[in-house]
Amino acid sequence: MTAKSKPAPIPEPGDNDLQFGDLDEMLGIVLQRTFIATARYFKEYMGDDFRPGFFTTLSLIEKNPGLTQKALAAAIRRDTSTLVPFLNKLEELGWAERRRSQADKRAHELYLTPAGHRQAARFDTKVRALEARLAEELGSRQAQQLRRLLRELDDVFARLSSQAD
């Protein structure tokens, strides 16, 4: 990313006398800010060929060849309608391909191409280095605790979401 295209830093409470009030105590607000900061940092660290979700999606397809679009959407908490354009992009990049399921002609199975396997390996190396850096910054114990809490929160949202249906 060039210096010209680098996004402005995310303001912190207290910057420019901006009043956040109790917004900084709301989980949703903190998660939103963290997500935005994470996406920006990952994009900067991973390079221009990276988009949020690429690593997870490529990794899941690599570990589960023949994974259906529906199963992938459920695993990454995406609606299938938003997953299709994302998968179109992976196909356009030459990293993944969809094949009609022999068992269910309505379903598509997902596979990585040789280029997709290489890209998944590149992303894996970089993401693991970033994970190590984050664990170093947070401390191993806090990183483990944060992962545990975020998984619990993910479970809570999954339950709440199923109750809303």
Q: For the segment 24-78, what is each residue's pLDDT rounded down to a tens digit?
A: 899 999 999 999 998 888 888 888 777 778 999 999 999 999 999 999 999 998 8
Question: CATH number for the domain including 123?
Answer: 1.10.10.10
Q: What are phi and psi of 108, to 5 degrees?
A: -115, 135
User: 124: how many CB neighbours lie within 10 A of its CB?
Assistant: 14
CB 24 within 8 A of CB 30: yes
Judgement on whether residues 59 and 119 belong to the same structural domain of the protein: yes
Which of 31, 50, 69 is where one domain is finished?
A: 50
Give this prediction's pTM: 0.78
Sheet order of strands, 108-112 included: 67-68, 108-112, 96-100
For residue 97, the Cα-to-chain-centroid distance in whole angstroms is 20
Q: For the segment 83-119, what is each residue's pLDDT rounded down to a tens digit?
A: 999 999 999 999 999 999 988 888 899 999 999 999 9
- Number of domains forming the structure of the chain: 2
Structural domain including 95 reads 53-127
The C-alpha torsion from 106 through 112 and 116 to 117, rounded to 10°, is 160
